[in-house]
Amino acid sequence: MAASDAPIGLFDSGLGGLSVLREVRTALPAEHLLYYADSAFCPYGARPPSEIRARCQLIAAALLDRGAKALIVACNTASSVALAQLRQVTGVPVVGLVPAVKPAVALSRAGRVAVLATPRTADGALLGSVVAAHAGGAEVTILPAPGLADLVESGQTAGPAVEALLRRLLEAPLRSGVDTVVLGCTHYPFVRPVVEAVVGPRVAVIDSGEAIARRTASVLADQGGLRSGTTPGHLALFTSGVPATVGAVASTLLGESVRPSFLPL
């Protein structure tokens, strides 16, 4: 097999990273993809950084064992605590996520941006440094959203619980004139329609998925590592959780039937 035919490995604490996978498939349809959902340990947001780092190392090793030519840490929480360490030990390109603060600040007319994130990302040094580097004169409000990723993980992407949580979180920022909302967790693009309904048409809602797909494409292109040809790539899903449960939610989120394999790590 040519090195460029090797798969790209993606992972998340659970199924949120499928929002990134969706964008990677759109940008790079010929690539084979491996996706690991660490569902038995989801959410990462409530776990200590040392445990998240240990999980990331195990998952990265499992994806590299299966031939991954690049890794995408499709989780803001994992990226914020484990990215630097993964880059040191893997020997393949590792693309990580940070909430899209920079483009949000550029987009905001009022100079008021709100970032929805998991409690761990909200507290993390990485988000703090991204805000310090890119806020400029804008006011960037971080909104920890405990429970939102869990709702998506259980397959709830709409309905009263999701709407009530988002209304409660966004009410005050909207009153203070926020005109741009960043979805700072890869689970959140799956509730984007509810966020958009809550904030209304004058407020922009942005996430990092497309930018990450573009970044992955350019990193692989620089190395001559893109898969050539027009045949669509395969997708293989693995999980530490219960495959039937994870598969049912993953199928709903992706809009196609997928069957994860059980891979405890």
Rg (CA), the chain: 18
- C-beta of 90 vs 186, nearer to ligand DGL: 186
Among 218, 232, 216, 227, residue whose Cα is nearest residue 4: 227
Q: Say how far apart CA 258 and CA 106 lie, in whole Å.
A: 38
Task: Indicate which residue of 75, 113, 148, 205 is catalytic.
Answer: 75
| Given 90, 118, 208, 216, the residue binding ligand DGL (CB under 6 A) | 118
Crossing angle for the helix pair 192-199 and 160-175, to the nearest 10 degrees: 40
Q: Is 56 a catalytic residue?
A: no
Spatial contact of 101 and 111, defined as CB atoms under 8 Å apart: no
* Range in contact with ligand DGL (rule: CB under 6 A) among 37-45, 203-211, 220-228, 238-246: 37-45
Give the distance from CA 154 to its chain's centroid: 16
- C-beta of 75 vs 250, nearer to ligand DGL: 75
253 Cβ partners below 8 Å, 6+ apart? Answer: 15, 18, 19, 152, 155, 157, 190
Q: How far is the CB of 43 from ligand DGL (least distance, A)?
A: 3
- C-beta of 43 vs 173, nearer to ligand DGL: 43
For ligand DGL, the binding residues in 161-190 under the rule CB under 6 A are: 185-187
Q: Is 77 in the site for ligand DGL (CB under 6 A)?
A: yes
Task: Kindly report the backbone phi and psi dihedral angles of residue 97, in degrees, each rounded to the nearest multiple of 5, phi listed first.
Answer: -110, 140
| Given 121, 180, 208, 240, the residue binding ligand DGL (CB under 6 A) | 121
Q: Is 241 in the site for ligand DGL (CB under 6 A)?
A: no
Q: Is 127 in the site for ligand DGL (CB under 6 A)?
A: no
Count of residues engaged in binding ligand DGL, rule: CB under 6 A: 16
Active site residues: 75, 185
